[in-house]
Amino acid sequence: MKERDVKTGEKVLVLGAGQLGAAVLEYLLPAVTQRNGAVSVIVSAGSRDRQGNLQSDVHQKLAEEGAEFISVDVAASTIETLKSHVADFDTVINCMGFVAGAGTQIKITRAVLEAGVSRYFPWQFGVNYDVVGKGSGQPVWDEQYDVRTLLRKQKSTEWVIVSTGMFTSFLFDPAFDVVNLSKKTINALGGWETQVTVTSPADIGRLTTEIYLHQPRIVNEVLFVAGETTSYRNLAETVEHVTKQSFARNVLTLPALADALRFNQDDQMLCYRAAFARGDGVWWPMSSTWNVQNHIPTQNIASWLKTVI
């Protein structure tokens, strides 16, 4: 780590204000403005109505608190166009995720590097792509590995990767079909002893801001955070304990998922299930996490679940 401070008066750009972006902005915006800095946010043109007003109440609240919202179609933009949008900022925090389509993360990263942005938090709020490597069954994860390669090959832009594991909320997404609260089913990915690390979006927002502010300044590092690391067996027990209900249990084995993928290669949720069923690089011990090492409490699965049932 280099002994360099987060400057006062920094201009910070956040890409995206969805579930993760909004969570990051909730903590980042007051922290930056208190240091006489400014925060801008890139959102899609569809985030505004015909009169140009922000349609989301969350976005409107953030704008009232001082965030400047900029409408950009990132998916349709060239690297040159994106460079013009990011060039004036000291730090770029990419919360855009995969919604903008394949190739977007590489394009954003190239734009940030070519624009000479001082510090970059890429969209790596997920698994350990160094361990996962390529060929996981999830093509967008291959792209994430390539993003890391790009960052490590250059020395001009400082980067910080925050590995969070799966979003806790995604674990309970009916479309992902691991825990389905309405159907009362739990599908273990790979096997009951397969492990997974999860972090709530709120904790990711809070921890990312803490990492951004941390002294000494964190430079060119992969950090791991977590709300909880658990096996699917323990997950099932947690869900039944908190809900006080019985759930039907099933295992989605890696061979079965791989067979299904051969006939449905474009099924994104199926790709995710297969990638997580492998078990490699999708979990880490709590003791190795930045939050535990810095004595910062986080929300485990049981406490998150109690807020939504």
- Residue 182 burial class via C-beta count within 10 angstroms: exposed 0-12, middle 13-18, buried 19 and up: exposed
Provide φ and ψ at 35, rounded to 5°. -100, 25
Asked whether 37 and 63 are in contact (CB, 8 A), the reply is no
- Would you list the domain boundaries of the chain? 11-166+200-226+281-298
Which runs of consecutive H residues, i.e. helices, occur in the chain? 19-34, 57-64, 79-86, 104-115, 129-132, 139-152, 168-171, 201-213, 232-243, 254-263, 268-277, 290-293, 301-306
pLDDT at 6: 55
pLDDT at 98: 77
Q: Could you tell me the pTM of the whole model?
A: 0.94
Q: How far apart are CA 77 and CA 270, in angstroms?
A: 29
Express as a percent the part of the chain with pLDDT over 90: 87
Structure tokens of 117?
């942005």
Fill in the DSSP letter of residue 54: B
Q: Which of 210, 223, 265 is nearest to 130 (CA)?
A: 223
pLDDT at 2: 38
Fill in the DSSP letter of residue 236: H
Decide the pairing of beta strands 68-71 and 195-199: unpaired
**61-104: per-residue pLDDT in tens?**
999 999 999 999 999 999 999 999 999 999 999 999 877 788 99
Q: Which residue has the tokens 């474009």?
A: 266
pLDDT at 7: 62
Asked whether 135 and 143 are in contact (CB, 8 A), the reply is no
> Torsion angle of alpha carbons 217, 222, 230, 203, nearest 10°?
40
Q: How far is CA 94 from the centre of its chain?
A: 9
**118-162: per-residue pLDDT in tens?**
999 999 999 999 999 887 767 788 899 999 999 999 999 999 999
Q: Please name the fold of domain 11-166+200-226+281-298.
A: Rossmann fold (3.40.50)
Q: Give the DSSP H/E element, type plus range, for residue 166.
A: strand 166-167
Q: Which of 268, 231, 267, 274 is nearest to 249 (CA)?
A: 231
Provide φ and ψ at 230, rounded to 5°. -145, 160
For the chain, which ranges sit under pLDDT 70?
1-7, 137
pLDDT at 99: 73
